[in-house]
Amino acid sequence: MIQVKNLTKIYKTTVKGSSFFSDLFNRKYKEVVALDKVSFEIAGNELVGFIGPNGAGKTTTLKILAGILYPTSGQVNVLDYFPFDKKRSFLKQIAFVMGQRNQLLWDLPALDTFQLNKEIYEVSDDRYHQIVDELTSLLNAENLVEKPVKTLSLGERMKMELIATLIHNPKLIFFDEPTIGLDLFSQEIIREFIKKYQKQYRATIMLTSHYMEDVKRLAKRIIVINKGKILYDGNLKEIVQKYSSTKLVTVVLESKIDQIKLSSIGNIISYVFPKVSYKIDRHLIPEKIDLINRLLPYMDLTIEEEPIEEIIKKLFSGKK
């Protein structure tokens, strides 16, 4: 469905000079490499999480795939179209949900925007009513569609935005930071919705976020990008095994132990009596557990994987 090969995007911006005249006659340009020979492929019925810090190139990638931005070089093929051509048949199959930005007509009820999109995407009457009913019940939003958009809360508006964007039942959906700025409750609702939608309609979804929670809950496959380069493309579970060299060992102590003794076991991450957490190298686990058994009187001991957030952070800072 999506094939990207050696995609490069370079932004050229003017740098403000020091004086009035230098700006006019001697403009200086700054080139920012947003994407650097990015390649990946996505098949149908996949939900892919696209993660990276701010400025990594996530949004740029999505916008090129949706036809908004023109690639500097490389090949982009989405649904067998070159997206920038913006062919009508191409655009009718995709949708793009941008967090914090909406297409809802402000002064009018959301229903008016739905009907506008129905006309724009040429959705048949039957299909339209069916989709609106299905989506409003999935989101529990039947009572919201007739209220003027400006009277809705941010979370409610996001629900209406989702329905408006999906009226035409697209095959391919881009979600760019869909939960940003929302309260935890609304974030949960959006995540649930995306999960159910993908299952029910078998759409291909590309989701960007810098909330790990979004990605953990929704995506099996993730693509990690930083500074325009792909750092990892594969299964979420595998990334832990591949890149994590440490485990988190938490011990609940029975009685207070001397600090020096505690430190002798290993690298302490946190210590608030009675809980002490260590970061221990995988290979050393058996040895360290043995040490803990001998030296520390404990009530409970847990061994966990390094949190994914930490792994990703390591990827971003270039460690392995």
Assign 3-class secondary structure to the chain.
CEEEEEEEEEEEEEECCCCHHHHHHCCEEEEEEEEEEEEEEECCCCEEEEECCCCCCHHHHHHHHHCCCCCCEEEEEECCECHHHCCHHHHCCEEEEECCCCCCCCCCEHHHHHHHHHHHCCCCHHHHHHHHHHHHHHHCCHHHCCCEHHHCCHHHHHHHHHHHHHCCCCCEEEEECCCCCCCHHHHHHHHHHHHHHHHHHCCEEEEEECCHHHHHHHCCEEEEEECCEEEEEEEHHHHHHHHCCEEEEEEEECCCCCHHHHHHHCEEEEEECCEEEEEEEHHHHHHHHHHHHHHCCEEEEEEEECCHHHHHHHHHHCCC
Beta bridge partners of 30: 13
Which one of 28, 86, 220, 282 is in contact with other proteins (CB under 8 A)? 86
Pick the piece of the chain touching other proteins (CB under 8 A) from 48-56, 86-94, 130-138, 279-287.
Answer: 86-94
Count of residues interacting with other proteins (CB under 8 A): 34
Which one of 29, 54, 88, 256 is in contact with other proteins (CB under 8 A)? 88
Asked if 103 is part of the footprint of other proteins (rule: CB under 8 A), the reply reads yes
Asked if 120 is part of the footprint of other proteins (rule: CB under 8 A), the reply reads yes
Pick the piece of the chain touching other proteins (CB under 8 A) from 90-98, 137-145, 210-218, 222-230.
Answer: 90-98
Which one of 39, 73, 75, 100 is in contact with other proteins (CB under 8 A)? 100
Asked if 29 is part of the footprint of other proteins (rule: CB under 8 A), the reply reads no
Asked if 63 is part of the footprint of other proteins (rule: CB under 8 A), the reply reads yes
Asked if 98 is part of the footprint of other proteins (rule: CB under 8 A), the reply reads yes
CB of 53 to other proteins, least distance (A): 17
Which one of 33, 111, 116, 240 is in contact with other proteins (CB under 8 A)? 116
Asked if 67 is part of the footprint of other proteins (rule: CB under 8 A), the reply reads yes
Query: Is residue 64 within 8 Å of residue 23, measured between CB atoms?
Result: no
CB of 86 to other proteins, least distance (A): 7
CB of 138 to other proteins, least distance (A): 22
Query: Is residue 141 within 8 Å of residue 77, measured between CB atoms?
Result: no
Backbone angles phi and psi of 8, in degrees to 5: -130, 140
Pick the piece of the chain touching other proteins (CB under 8 A) from 96-104, 136-144, 197-205, 263-271.
Answer: 96-104
CB of 119 to other proteins, least distance (A): 6
Residue (116 or 291) nearer to other proteins, CB: 116
Which one of 80, 119, 125, 126 is in contact with other proteins (CB under 8 A)? 119
Contacts with other proteins by CB under 8 A lie at 11, 13, 20, 23-24, 63, 66-70, 84, 86, 88-89, 91-92, 94-96, 98, 100-103, 105, 107-108, 112, 116, 119-122
